[in-house]
Amino acid sequence: MSRSRKPEWLKMRPPSGQRFTHIKQSLRDRDLNTVCEEANCPNMGECWSGGANAPPDAEAASAAEEGRDGPGTATFMLMGDRCSRGCNFCDVETGGMDPLDPEEPDNVADAVADIGLDYVVLTSVDRDDLPDQGAGHFAETVRAIKRRNADVMVEALIPDFQGDSSLVGKVIDAGPDVLAHNVETVERLQWPVRDRRAGYEQSLSVLRQIATESDAYAKTSIMLGVGEYDHEVYQTLADLRSVGVDIVTLGQYLQPSRSHLEVSEYIHPDAFDTWQRVAEEELDFLYCASGPMVRSSYRAGELFVEALER
């Protein structure tokens, strides 16, 4: 598949509807950032609809009719929209870090209650500039959401905290239901894909700690189409499973701008299906979400609940 033209399967309908507008307004009122919007994620229509506490909406009603309803998911990005690192695949601005907003944990908890989400993904930029790299802020946000409604499931997608296990431990102690850290790519391509401060072994050690020291499910994500070979993807999946990772997602890398890493290949949807079978049937992951438009938080609530019920 040529890398110069986007194939048909990557074209998606833009999100719309009453519920979509309500969520957007709720976020604006509280000055909150979501990855969904920042990345203009094409899955917003699917992820944001549904949810047992969600106000009714034509989109959600038709999703329910078609059996597509489930826990609505949105991904909040904590601690600003500027990162202390600069990964070559990522569109987030580097440097010029904002001070932490001490009200952010409660504002996120308020927005989750207002929107009626059942499943929340929290992620952040990397904050290597802070004494605890933002681990305490992450933990406080998990706790604020659970204090409001203990039934809301929280997935925390954390940075590597430079491999400091005490900082990973701080987030573990807050009791998220799923604790994720993204390995992003195979070992050989960690750099140039990720910032030089990241690394394969460091990420595996974060995931091993999550798997062995917490009650949370351990989750990670891999982008395809950055130049990896199939045997390397298989090896990465096997390494992840060997450290105890339960959930893995695979999606197509898309170049955010010409100054970012080029797409090496558009992977066919059938190949994504094959990886899903390998991960679930051969390597025994709890579940694997795999598809061209899958992102680490793609329909995270729905798929997690479905997997637990299987």
Binding site for ligand SF4 (CB under 6 A): 35-36, 41, 43-44, 47, 73-75, 83, 85-87, 90, 92, 121, 125-126, 195, 295, 297-298
Query: First-to-last CA distance in the chain?
Result: 35
Give min distance, CB of 231 to ligand SF4, in A: 25
Q: Which is nearer to ligand SF4, 92 or 144 (CB)?
A: 92
Phi and psi at 91, nearest 5°, equal -90, 0
Rounded CA separation 296/258 (Å) = 23
Compute the distance between CA of residue 58 and CA of residue 264 in angstroms, rounded to an integer: 39
Q: What are phi and psi of 250, to 5 degrees?
A: -130, 130
Minimal distance in Å, beta carbon 197 to ligand SF4? 9
- Distance of closest approach, residue 82 Cβ to ligand SF4, in angstroms: 9
Q: Which is nearer to ligand SF4, 73 or 290 (CB)?
A: 73
- Given the complex with ligand SF4, which of 74 and 178 has the nearer CB atom? 74
Each as own residue / partner, the long-range contacts of residues 276-281 (CB below 8 Å, 24 or more positions apart, any chain) are 276/250, 278/234, 278/237, 279/237, 279/248, 279/250
Task: Read off the amino acid at residue 161.
Answer: F
Residue whose CB is less far from ligand SF4, 205 or 241: 205
Element (H, E) at 83: strand 82-83
Q: Are 201 and 169 in contact (CB under 8 A)?
A: no
| Minimal distance, residue 282 CB to ligand SF4, in Å | 26
Closest by Cα among 77, 185, 86, 218 to 134? 77
Q: Is the CB of 90 or the CB of 245 nearer to ligand SF4?
A: 90
Q: What is the closest distance, in whole angstroms, from the C-beta atom of residue 2 to ligand SF4 in the complex?
A: 26
CB of 45 to ligand SF4, least distance (A): 8
Phi, psi of 141 (to 5 degrees): -70, -40
Alpha-carbon distance of 112 to 223, in angstroms, equals 28
Question: Closest approach of Cβ 182 to ligand SF4, in Å?
Answer: 8
| Residue 40: partners with Cβ closer than 8 Å, 6 or more residues away | none
Does residue 257 contact residue 90 with C-beta atoms inside 8 Å?
no
Query: What contacts 134, CB < 8 A, 6 or more positions away?
Result: 78, 79, 100, 124, 126, 127, 159
Which of residues 83 and 263 has its CB atom nearest to ligand SF4 in the complex? Answer: 83
In terms of CB distance, is 5 or 258 closer to ligand SF4?
258
Task: Report in angstroms how near the CB of residue 42 gets to ligand SF4 at its nearest.
Answer: 7
Q: Which is nearer to ligand SF4, 157 or 240 (CB)?
A: 157
- 8 A C-beta contact, residue 15 and residue 45: yes
